[in-house]
Chain A
């Protein structure tokens, strides 16, 4: 593009021909105030605050910097007295409509307007149009528009009704310089808004993710909803964004596979008696973990849904674990993290009462029991007994708004009613439902609890019946981080030992067809799961491809003539086995 020369406030500069003046000035570090400009949107030129003086061949023009294309030889004055006079007046006019908008008042102050001559209006919307434009130009939803004209102009949705085209992306509120647009939240409390999922459509899965790359969440990305908005493409300097990318199936040939598919937390809604989702301030252990996180919604402060500091918190152990109705097994990690929670609460909220409801304290690891003892010293209340019910049935005004936990304290043999401000449910770790499918895929198996079964609990704890397939972590069963790390190390080294060898011996149990006995009936062809058997029409015989044959022997059993046999499982061998075991 052609470069032209221009002068801004007396300083010579260069800019690409027809660049918007605002940009040309910005490159020089000259700030021109504007209220309706956004770098991602087409210049709209309506606030007129950016009006500057331009001299072209001795003719003076007043132009808006945001959309005026610079040409060679122009002389620009961005802060002349005339310009300042104009801005002052425009700001006064704006204040006459929106007298209490901070961004306006700040700018007005800059221009010496303290007592606007036309008074101060009460509106919030300065009609800059950013919301309307972002909705149409970027989002593509076209929900917002201008209505009426002249001083009656407003921004709204069609017929002032909630639009079903609105995808509640919040872009309008995001660009609004005055805060006139607020997203109404139909749900209540911080918990619904708690960022359990990604905060934005583009996110990095979690801070420690490897590789630490941003991904676009198709479900919430505006582009995939409306076909517009390519803002990320525009701003990405590396030009790394491609919305056309599709999921790809990549085939990778490997010799060993490690299954480390993890676990999921039990759905707390199943346990109706604990009222999750019914009452505010009942959260899962993971919710509580997020709440405690310095990067979480409350910046690590423990607050109730109403934003108050809780005075008492109940922690329920074994929710769904060690329970005949849900999971018989112990989830192993709950006791320790529940203790950690109690410790964190004690540390963060002075004087907060913490009640841990437990069946048994299982502090089995190194230093664990000591930690438990420390908490006893810290004054955490431990109630041995399963919580029967959590509700909000207050018996007196002091209990209003509290959660009532009912449990039998088996230590002292009484039923206790403990009102608390917040409850944390330490939910069971359960196998992912997908594990079943994976077990088929990888020819390993899952136990009745859904976790993968190891080949041998003692002798081959990371192997599966399928050679070359290893398991590690919570997909094999509930375990804590040290155990997972240990198991993963073991699985990796088991896999490495195979890789080191470089080759694997396959089972030599493939089947063969004795040609002279084959009558060409092709029954074997029909039953083979691996299309390893081909029928030769010319010879009227079938034969087995050794490389494809996995040695199941199905064809052998199907062959009426006994032409097919399986190495190591010949009929004679089986008959001999039968003879052998029945000889005793």
Chain B
């Protein structure tokens, strides 16, 4: 049956939270009411990435992009667009820098600069239907890998593609596969293939989105990996907090099994392989490979020394290949289109040595003080500026950019002068941050870098497993020092102390969580030392965040006496008559910021 139009409703977690399932129901009802149900099909898709504007709906074949769609908008969409062919203007997206709305998805800057490989099927297919995936050439790569390639050929192809692990370490996947395959053969022990879906970084949701929008790409990638490595058993370690992703993945596995793509004798090619989902209990450290495998074995999720590599002795002492969701999702296209195609994207010549550059694309979750929060996929080597200002649409309210934090909680904060830096594994590390799993948090001038460092150290202190001394005690003492500085009780020698602590942690911690933990502190100390000094020496917080160091006030020039702040203030610290300039009693003020939130004229000051 052919339809003349399709309504693609995003059912990523963000849009689902915005009510996209109800939207679907209402839309279908409305279409049926109008007797259009044989002409127009409603499809729910995975995350489209532009989560800031959800719930999102795209009408094809016109390619019209609607954002912030609510149920009450449905009659208008059906009446105007679907019946009369006129896009509903008020639901179209208008970039913050533009005046006129942009009707077509392809024209929206957020999408225009992206390069979709991993997210190629987002918004296109229904993640719950394997047929949809197959319709867009899904499992073709698997067919090719099974029938036209040797396992060695598969590993070589990945190696030559320069694909580096997207989980954070950036270890070349091909080399890992090769070692694992070799270990399995030498030891005569069947290796296992593990997918790390324990995405724990605050503000990061790439892996979740991939699984939610295109679970089969991960499954296919894992099967191909298993074929290359010689594994017959696979696990997906997914965090408990991702129920929707888990559900979709489970369905994908069931379907794949039904279609003969998993289980015994896959595609009749004599390969046996199956995947089991294991749920983590939400410990951040379980994203670390050894801790993950310990957890997978049912033990306490604690890392161990990696002097013996997990590719050789991992899960149940078997050779274990661990890649994250995004890495596996890259695999089918590499196999299908070839290593050369993949290597042609990104930086450096990776064909001879994958360490030479960063090929392909990277998915980032773009969050923080930025207009277009959401999930983006960009080619390696793109500049931070392009990401933040072109795709991200810049900083809201016309504020100044201060820093971008990449790589999750243990990444570093990069200042404005680094904005033109190419985004790839090695440049980020060099700059004192890291690629990490792809979190990207943008901060504006109202951010306090000491507070940011404190926030991340607090997070890591909480999430440290506590096994080794420097991580457990170092983070705690580091947090104490940062809190002291934030409270205005810091001493100048604290800066040296922080640096020393950071260096010792980098030297001595047991796992990457610990060794990378000082990054937020060290990078802010490197690029924003003056802010620390301001806290200690001047007892001032330049970002106006650290409560102990700021006082609230009202700029009489800006205040129009709208009285909104008076209603918002819970301690009655603001007084004033309507239409007259208000005043603020600093003794009553608890610096909660509620007034700032409501003030439309930016009249509340923090000094």
Enumerate chain A interface residues (CB-CB to B < 8 A): 43, 45-49, 51, 62-64, 67-69, 82, 85-86, 89-90, 93-94, 96-97, 117-118, 126-127, 129, 145-146, 148-153
Beta-carbon contact of A48 and B501 below 8 Å: no
Asked if B466 and A82 make an inter-chain contact with CB atoms under 8 angstroms apart, the answer reads no
Q: A148-B466, A149-B283, A150-B463 are in contact. Are A93 and B477 (CB under 8 A)?
A: yes
Of B93-101, B326-334, B507-515, which stretch is located at the interface? B507-515
Q: How far is the CB of A574 from chain B (nearest CB, A)?
A: 84
B466 near A118 (CB under 8 angstroms)?
A: no
The answer, among A47, A62, A67, A118, for a CB contact under 8 Å with B477, is: A118
A49 to chain B minimum Cβ distance, whole angstroms, is: 8
Contacts of B461 in A (CB 8 A): 150-151
> Within 8 Å CB of A94, what residues of B?
469, 473
With A97-B473, A148-B466, A149-B466 in contact, is A68–B307 under 8 Å at CB?
A: yes
B564 within 8 A of A: no
A86 in complex: contacting residue of B300, B466, B468, B508, CB < 8 Å? B508
Q: Which of A64, A86, A126 contacts B504 (CB 8 A)?
A: A86
Enumerate chain B interface residues (CB-CB to A < 8 A). Answer: 283, 285, 300, 302, 304-305, 307-308, 461-470, 472-477, 480, 497, 500-501, 503-504, 507-510
Contact B464 A48 (CB under 8 A): no
Known pairs A63-B307, A67-B305, A86-B508; A93 contacts B466 (CB<8 A) = no
Known contacts A117-B497, A149-B283, A46 near B469 by CB under 8 Å: yes
| Contacting pair A45 B468 (CB below 8 A) | yes
- List the A side residues contacting B302 at CB < 8 Å: 146
Q: Chain B residues near A69 (CB, 8 Å)?
A: 307-308
B481 closest partner in A (C-beta):
A118
Q: Pick the contact of A96: B307, B462, B473 (CB < 8 A).
A: B473
Could you tell me the distance between the alpha carbons of A82 and B507 in the complex, rounded to whole angstroms? 9
A68-B307, A127-B466, A146-B466 known; 5 new pairs, CB 8 Å cut-off, are A118-B480, A150-B461, A150-B466, A150-B475, A151-B466
Give complex CA distance A126, B466 in Å. 11
In the bound complex, residues from chain A placing their C-beta under 8 Å from that of B308 are 69
Residues of B within 8 A of A145 (CB): 300
CA distance A448 to B218 in the complex (A): 89
* Pair B307/A89 contact, Cβ less than 8 Å: no
Q: Please state if B476 and A151 are interface contacts (CB–CB under 8 Å).
A: yes
Interface-central residue, A63, A67, A93, by most chain B CB under 10 Å: A93
Measured in the bound complex, the distance between the Cα atoms of B307 and A67 in whole Å is 8
Residues of B within 8 A of A90 (CB): 469-470, 473, 504, 508
Given A69-B307, A82-B507 in contact, is the A150-B465 Cβ separation under 8 Å?
yes
The closest CB in chain B to the CB of A121 belongs to B473
**Nearest CB in chain B: distance from A67 CB, A:** 5
Contact A86 B473 (CB under 8 A): no
B464 touches A150 (CB 8 A): yes
A48 to chain B: which residues have CB within 8 Å?
468-470, 508-510
The reply to whether B472 and A151 contact each other, CB–CB distance below 8 Å, is yes
A408 to chain B, nearest CB (A): 70
Point out the residues of chain B lying under 8 angstroms from A85, CB to CB: 500, 503-504
Which residues of the partner chain A approach B474 to less than 8 Å between Cβ atoms?
Answer: 89, 93
Q: How far is the CB of A463 from chain B (nearest CB, A)?
A: 68
- The answer to whether A93 and B470 have CB atoms under 8 Å apart is yes
CB proximity of A24 to chain B, nearest CB, Å = 14
| CA A68 to CA B467, docked complex, whole Å | 17
Choose one: A47, A62, A63, A149; the contact of B469 (CB below 8 Å): A47
Contact A45 B305 (CB under 8 A): yes
Please name 27 pairs of A and B residues whose Cβ atoms are closer than 8 Å in the assembled complex, sorted by A: A45-B305, A46-B468, A46-B469, A47-B469, A48-B468, A48-B508, A51-B507, A68-B305, A89-B500, A90-B508, A93-B473, A94-B473, A96-B476, A96-B477, A97-B473, A117-B497, A145-B300, A146-B300, A146-B302, A146-B466, A149-B463, A150-B462, A150-B472, A151-B461, A151-B472, A153-B467, A153-B472
Q: Determine the chain B residues whose CB is within 8 A of the CB of A67 once the complex forms.
A: 305, 307
Which chain B residues border A89 with CB–CB below 8 Å?
470, 474, 500-501, 504
In whole angstroms, what is the CA distance A145 to B500 when docked? 32
| B467 CB, nearest partner CB in chain A, Å | 5
CA distance A93 to B504 in the complex (A): 11
| Cβ–Cβ contact A149 & B465, under 8 A | yes
In angstroms, how far is the closest chain A Cβ from the Cβ of B395? 34
Known A86-B508, A146-B300, A151-B461; contact A64-B305, beta-carbon cutoff 8 A: yes
Max chain B CB contacts within 10 Å: which of A46, A49, A149? A149
Q: Which residues of B contact A47 (CB under 8 A)?
A: 468-469
Residue pair B469, A93 in contact (C-beta under 8 Å)? yes
Chain A CB count within 10 A is highest, among B285, B470, B475, B480, for B470
**Cα–Cα distance between A255 and B165 once the two chains are bound (Å):** 83
The chain B residue with its CB closest to the CB of A146 is B300
Contact call B472/A62, Cβ cutoff below 8 A: no
Query: Chain B's nearest CB lies how many Å from the CB of A208?
Result: 50
When distances are taken between beta carbons in the complex, the residues of chain A under 8 Å from B467 are: 46, 129, 146, 153
Compute how far the CA of A155 lies from the CA of B531 in the bound complex, rounded to whole angstroms: 40
4 tightest CB-CB pairs across the interface, nearest first? A153-B466, A93-B473, A89-B504, A62-B507
Chain A residues within 8 Å of B508, by CB: 48, 51, 62, 86, 90
Shortest beta-carbon distance, A519 to chain B, in Å?
78
Cα of A347 to Cα of B532 in the assembled complex, Å:
75
Contacts of A127 in B (CB 8 A): 466, 469, 472
